[in-house]
Structure 1
């Protein structure tokens, strides 16, 4: 039986996807706003953890209150993989846009509900239970949020601008933190600390409602991404490859067929998010509880640091389109290994200027990861399983990263060593360094399973020529390999004949 060899059609200029600039801007805005709302809650929660500890765990010591409040922050990460599996499968089956509309609704409602929960003094044990349930709902929705938003932006972006466009997603994250922190400082300064502990802490969570409505409006108005639409068109046309690879993926398939991409994804997410949560969620508590700065004082320092990060973020994304993503992952990891302890020496110096410098250095190193993560991760997996694969692997990694505030607080509390967070960062930086050395460069290349994407027809012609040049180089490499194989075959034939000549009964 003869195997029929599939013939691919030659790639022409009309096969290059031209990205509509107005649609791209809308996609980035909608994705970044949803991400901002997610991190607005994380920022608020981190900055009011001291208040939540007193409201929901009043009988414990201040140290235990802090750990308990941060543990409530970390527990929802246990359900994020479930949300990733659910929304990932839905995103690969029904499209990215529909799923992102659902996740932002769940996220807005659950965040709003935190502001409604009565205190422990009012309803007893039900107060922390209701807080945990609201956080679990958040965790489930967030399981599909970042992965979907990153994919949405990546699939809408031209190949040569994917780093710059993707960097705006985490720009939204940082902006959400800034907004959350700014709202906490503003409200606490207006109403005073006593009233803030009584009822003022609830107000930031109520802002989730209008933010959610705006985000839902923007996302609902978007069209599906070009890469996913291409995949759907292939299936409708009866493409055999598309039919044999239905839009769903089990973890077993990811682990066996996509193991290299899985390892890169896990390593990069752990390195990025542990640094993220250490700096932006744990450090406000570290400054107030361990270094005895006033809550508002510590928050103001972090706000200033995050504003600086906003300026650095898109610069790194833009530069990664020129020199690649790998240098930033490797450089950021080496920087953490070498500078984590010096930075914490500055933070513990009791000199405001030096504290600021220590935090700023950590922030720039964090930018090295966040500036390229959203453009790197979606390029790891092919279109038909991209959402499922990325959501599952991303959220499994976040299980480790999400425990960072709790673990850091416990390590400092139990050991009495204020440098434990620095050691923690150094261990994680080793993971980041190995990931950077191991990962393949994805800058200026089409997403796996998708045709090249360009900003305009002129760029499309350049991409087409680059694709032709790449094909020619691969053909030359294969030809060289064939020549080498032919030489090896001839050598084996000579050896075979020499052995036959030595045997009287073989000819």
Structure 2
């Protein structure tokens, strides 16, 4: 079909003075530019290993959030045990200040455990964080109160929280990295959502245990001895989690990256003069420098999404029970049951949202959740303020619906922002900075703002601000659903899917090479072809 264009004068059919040697060079360039996949580049996931990975990482998150659920629900009780000389409002603020201290040391844990996980492996670091979390939580249950040892009691509580915070600095980022690197590309959202399923199961178990204890032995019994029980339960939970993590294997993506790094080191050593360069690149300082200089945009996006998720999370899970009882004067058991019911709703819906993110994409869900938080935060808090049972229950469910949108999507979205060789470190640093500055401080700041301004709509305004920031971050987010992780090859579930991926890659590579060849060898024909495509 003629395109209405004529070749340049002085040329017969192609580019002027085209030689066979030039054609050969173009063919070589095309082969190097778009290589099709080889079957060995596609990883078929080991299904038993994948199930063990999901279970072991979810148990670690369950352990972490069991502690958070307990701490949030016994905040008033802990204030009476460790800060008895203060008025009730100051007791709550003091207790949440101790809670927030753990988040201030989380970035230090991220700086240590994240790059370490990129160097020695994800499995070893996750086993270490599991041990430290269990010890820190269990030790709280053994602490003497202020009436027994005075000012040393809150100091010991603070020390336990520091240990917990340091260990959790490497927990969530490592767990999401581990699941993401074990999951098939088409199911990463669904499998990743099980990690946060463990989060809310842990919170529900912790808060549920405190609710049952409070209803059984009363507030007096909780102050005397009942507050210790939930923390002591953490010991056996930690041992179970450690056993499961020690049985894990290293992720396929990390193994492939380690092999590439070893080959690069051998090649550098063969040249003789480039070994120091490669050693510097693989060192902890070299990785940190690369994270902050080459991946700062991804870090900002990550921090915005983490702020959105964690401000909503801690507002609902950690601050809402205290807000409903201490600020609004509602019945403690009713408030605890309503928030616990919200957590159960999140647990039931979270894997559905994760599967939906595989189908519709991560970006649309974050957009819907951000806009929903901005629009519905005030109505939700007004319903919670209304009193009774029905209206607060509806308000809690609205906030729970926003929360599950972020929770079911985050574990698959965040690891995909960074390449394999830096994923654990970059995610640990950006995640923990955001959680420490904005997430973990939410209960403290919200309680302080309410006490200072006497405005009970402060939680709604706080959530709206988080929604705006999350919306901005989402607008810069690239869609990653169904795509391989950066720095890794495709991950599939079966051999048949692997062969299909290779076949599709060859077809795509051939089509791409043909289009480029036409544009180089017959530029006027290629331009006409593009015009026809545009008209269609």
Q: TM-score, normalised by structure 2?
A: 0.86
State whether structure 2 residue 381 is matched by structure 1 residue 344.
yes
User: Which residue of the partner structure matches residue 14 of structure 2?
Assistant: none
After TM superposition, the structure 1 = structure 2 runs for residues 195-344 of structure 1, keeping only pairs within 5 Å, are 195-238=221-264, 243=278, 245-246=281-282, 248=284, 250-344=287-381
Deviation at 1:260, TM superposition (A): 2.0
1:121 equivalent in alignment to 2:147: yes
Change (3 A) 1:473 1:162: farther
Distance of 1:412 and 1:158 partners within structure 2? 46
Are 1:412 and 2:450 an aligned pair?
A: yes
Task: After superposition, give the CA deviation of every residue in 1:349-382 in whole Å (9 maximum; x if it has no partner).
Answer: 1131111111101111111111110001111111
Which of 116, 121, 125 aligns to 1:95? It is 121
Q: 2: CA distance between counterparts of 1:282 and 1:479?
A: 62
- Which structure has the bigger radius of gyration? 2
Deviates most, 331-340 or 235-244? 235-244
Write the distance in 2 (CA, Å) between the matches of 1:57 and 1:222: 43
User: 1:147 offset after TM fit, Å?
Assistant: 0.3
Within 1, Cα distance between the matches of 2:515 and 2:166? 47
SS for the counterpart of 1:439 is coil
Q: CA deviation at 1:14?
A: 2.6
- 1:423-442 equivalences under 5 Å are 423-442=461-480
Q: 1:353 aligns with which of 390, 398, 422?
A: 390
Cα RMSD, aligned residues only: 2.4
Q: Is the 8 A contact 1:336 1:365 kept in 2?
A: yes
Quote the Cα distance in structure 2 between the aligned partners of 1:271 and 1:347.
21
Shift of 1:472: 5.7
Q: Secondary structure at the match of 1:448?
A: coil
SS at match of 1:237: helix
Structure 2, unaligned runs of 5 or more: 1-28, 269-276, 525-536
Question: CA 1:112–1:446 in 2, change beyond 3 Å: closer, same or farther?
Answer: same
Q: Report the Cα distance in structure 1 between the residues aligned to 2:40 and 2:417, rounded to whole angstroms.
A: 25
C-alpha separation in 1, matches of 2:421 and 2:312: 31
Cα distance in structure 2, aligned partners of 1:481 and 1:415: 67
Q: Which region of structure 1 is more displaced relative to structure 2, 325-334 or 237-246?
A: 237-246
In 2, Cα distance between the equivalents of 1:273 and 1:295? 24
Partner of 1:397: 434
State the alpha-carbon separation in 2 of the partners of residues 350 and 189 from structure 1: 21
- Specify whether residues 439 and 18 from structure 1 end up closer, same or farther in structure 2 by C-alpha distance, changes over 3 A only: same
Matched, 1:187 2:213: yes
State whether structure 2 residue 195 is matched by structure 1 residue 169.
yes
Measured against aligned partners, the alpha-carbon deviations of 1:143-188 in whole angstroms (never above 9, x if no partner) come to 0000000000000000000000000000100000000011101222
Contact 1:247 1:384 (8 Å CA) reproduced: no
Q: Structure 1: where are the runs of 5+ without partners?
A: 487-507
Moved over 6 A (4+): 476-486
Q: Which residue matches 1:74?
A: 100
Contact persistence 2:361–2:480 (CA under 8 A): yes
Structure-2 change in CA distance of 1:36 and 1:237 (3 Å) = same
Distance in structure 2 (CA, Å) of the matches to 1:87 and 1:100: 9
- Compared CA separation, residues 393 and 359, structure 1 to 2 (3 A): same
2:133 to 107, 128, 134: 107
> CA deviation digits over 1:361-420, x for unaligned, max 9?
111111111111000111111111111111011111112211000000011111111100
Q: Distance in 1 between matches of 2:444 and 2:521?
A: 59
Counterparts in 2 of 1:471 and 1:94: CA distance versus 1, 3 Å: same
Post-superposition shift, 1:468?
4.2
Between 1:405-414 and 1:291-300, the stretch displaced more is: 291-300
Deviations 1:237-268 (A, max 9, x none): 34769957526455442222012211111111
